[in-house]
Structure 1
Amino acid sequence: MPLLPGAEPFAHRGSATGVLLCHGFTGCPQSLRPWAEHLAGQGLTVSLPLLPGHGTRWEDLRLTHWTDWYATVARELRELTARCDRVFVCGLSMGGTLALRLAARHGPAVAGVVVVNPAISLPWWHGYALPVLRHVVPSVRGLVSDIAKGGVRETGYTRVSLHGVHALHGLFAATRADLPRVTQPLLLLRSRVDHIVPAHDSAQVLASVSSTDVAERVLEDSFHVATLDHDAERIFQETDAFLTRLANRATRKTARDGT
């Protein structure tokens, strides 16, 4: 099946610091490619995979489950940890959900987490309606390109499979239960105005994780897909500062342990 323009995975072999980037639901690597390219330009090892059922046509999403999406990023994490001294996981929207679950499930293999507008819930009625509705209504209108910056478009599906939304509901439920297991340093960036994910989701993440090193940044000039919006450069700079601080901390600890 041909890929949509920009949906190709991105990988860069760089230093002993690795970064895994996870894209969002119905999106593709295009939404995170500038972030990935920036990190690669800093000399880091970067992996930005395409999730199963994404980047082709919306009908393909109904053939996958959230466990397939998670298995893909978990595999990438294992490959990065095999060749890097430390690995950070990052994500946008549902990609943030996947990043948090990786942190919860893989513990020391994840050195830190950066999430942008992380999603962790659907409206309560979805849990009652979706199991039946998905067999009656194949799809609904898509939610891509919630971007304030003029002339910028997100590559993704214009229709959303309700089978996919039902799977997404399962991912959210499983990840919410795992949030207390997240102990790694966490940087959370959220848009002041987001037409896709409510601010409550970020608040729930911050209230539920067990991390003691936590920072929240509010993005004033972007909508949901902030990685392609006015605040993209700020996201890149905040990520640089976060990774550098933690890498320096690890270096100092290694030096102390060696004396």
Structure 2
Amino acid sequence: MLPRLCLLLFPLVVLASCALPPDSPLFQPSESLSSYDQESFEQYVSDSRAWIADNRVFLHEDRNLEIEFNTPFERRPDEPAKRGILFVHGLGASPWYFTDMADALANDGWLVRSILLPGHGSRPADLMLPDFDDWQNVVAHHASLLAAEVEELWLGGFSTGGNLVTTHALRDENVAGLLLFSPGFYPDNGYLFIAPVISYLWDWIDIDDENNIATYQSLPTRGAALYYRSVKAVQKDLKTARFDKPVLITMSQHDSVLDPNATLATFQDRFPNQKSRFVWYGDTPQHVDDPRVTVLASSLPDRRISTFSHMNVLFAPENFYYGEKGSHIIFDNGQDGIPIPENTDTLWFGAWGQVAAEKYHARLTWNPYFLDLLDSIREVTGDS
């Protein structure tokens, strides 16, 4: 969804896209949001699962799998954990985005939790229901719950979730470090500021086929406005504050949603800890002389990969849904008018909008350097 946001918020495109949604429950909000302020994480998971079961508009026959993907979850190590991390997903995504990361960190002895942002997990229209306070409060509440169980609290976030956890960490002395994957600090879009205004005029920015059980494909204007609120909040904080504790940030040079160079500059200026690392997927950035920056090539022709996408960093190649041989391929990748090849073995993969002669690019949804990323995380967190 987010890869379209930069284009869809251009005013003329927005005007053209403001059609009435189909007469489907997908585009009609639930009666209420799921609660998130339970006294225990166990109760929160149980209540969220029941709410999703009652309110989700199911896309496929395997309802249990859809519920599992969208329910908050916890991974506990074999021994009592001294350190814990709370993961927060991005706009339109789900707690399941952190499944591979959670398994790896739990094996390293971490207590790992992944929460559900209000408005997610059920139907795209439910993004019309939350306020920005709901998103900030769910992070604060579950950071507090986790801090009470471990000696050392970390936060992690993808995209919009990266904004939310960074804003929280700059206010919460309990946070020992951050893991940020494609954090949405700087959208590559000059029109995002109009999203709150549009939300009073039209309900939908994008109406699309829903076939991905881990991610909404359609976007209400309210969802875009909430993302804008997260951008405003984190940018305001980063103008005046530094995060002196360790942080890992990943970014693709070819991210279709964000400005990677602005994120890199902010890392160098506002995240001064010498243990911190910035993992850059692409060509070596110019005028960067910082030993904390690691550059990994994103053009891997032997694996039919042209560029890295906004989302692929989180998923192991073995992931059964988004992995190299996973069951779900995102064909809709900004190549209108180009026929999808019948033989998927000829597909190339890249960021949204990747176009090349005689090649059809599906979205890259897994990280060929996933094990290297885990090593970088261990280096930043002191596990190496």
Q: Same fold (TM over 0.5)?
A: yes
Q: How does 1:39-78 map to 2 (within 5 A)?
A: 39-78=105-144
2:247 touches 2:271 (CA, 8 Å); kept in 1?
no
Cα distance, 1:97 vs. partner?
A: 0.9
Cα distance, 1:137 vs. partner?
A: 2.7
Q: 1:194 aligns with which of 255, 276, 287?
A: 255
Q: 1:135 aligns with which of 200, 209, 213?
A: 200
Cα distance, 1:206 vs. partner?
A: 1.4
1:20 touches 1:48 (CA, 8 Å); kept in 2?
yes
Q: How does 1:77-88 map to 2 (within 5 A)?
A: 77-88=143-154
Other-structure match for 1:101: 167
Q: Residues 174 and 204 of structure 1: is their aligned pair in 2 closer, same or farther, counting only changes over 3 Å?
A: farther
Other-structure match for 2:379: 241
| CA distance in 2 between partners of 1:159 and 1:175 (Å) | 25
Which of structures 1 and 2 has the larger relative contact order (alpha carbons within 8 angstroms, sep 6+)? 1
Matched, 1:223 2:223: no
Q: Any unmatched runs of 5+ in structure 2?
A: 1-54, 59-65, 282-296, 299-307, 316-365
Cα distance, 1:205 vs. partner?
A: 3.2
Q: Any unmatched runs of 5+ in structure 1?
A: 144-152, 249-259
Other-structure match for 2:74: 11
Q: Compute the TM-score of the two structures, normalised by the length of structure 2.
A: 0.57
Identity %: 23
Question: Which has the higher Rg, Structure 1 or Structure 2?
Answer: 2
Cα distance, 1:100 vs. partner?
A: 0.9
Cα distance, 1:3 vs. partner?
A: 7.5
Q: Deviations over 1:125-179 (max 9, x none)?
A: 232x323322333222379xxxxxxxxx772111111112112211211111112
Q: Compute the TM-score of the two structures, normalised by the length of structure 1.
A: 0.82
Aligned length: 235
| Equivalent AA in structure 1 for residue 147 of structure 2 | T
Give the RMSD, CA atoms, in angstroms: 2.3
Q: How does 1:83-162 map to 2 (within 5 A)?
A: 83-107=149-173, 109-122=174-187, 123-127=189-193, 129-141=194-206, 155-162=214-221
| CA distance in 2 between partners of 1:216 and 1:201 (Å) | 13
| CA distance in 2 between partners of 1:233 and 1:140 (Å) | 37
Other-structure match for 1:2: 56
Q: Deviations over 1:33-71 (max 9, x none)?
A: 111121112221111111110111111011112221121
1:91 touches 1:97 (CA, 8 Å); kept in 2?
yes
1:121 touches 1:173 (CA, 8 Å); kept in 2?
no
1:104 touches 1:183 (CA, 8 Å); kept in 2?
no
| Equivalent AA in structure 2 for residue 2 of structure 1 | R
Q: Residues 154 and 196 of structure 1: is their aligned pair in 2 closer, same or farther, counting only changes over 3 Å?
A: farther
SS in 2 for 1:55: coil
Other-structure match for 1:171: 230
| CA distance in 1 between partners of 2:113 and 2:164 (Å) | 14
Q: Residues 88 and 3 of structure 1: is their aligned pair in 2 closer, same or farther, counting only changes over 3 Å?
A: farther
Q: Residues 124 and 184 of structure 1: is their aligned pair in 2 closer, same or farther, counting only changes over 3 Å?
A: same
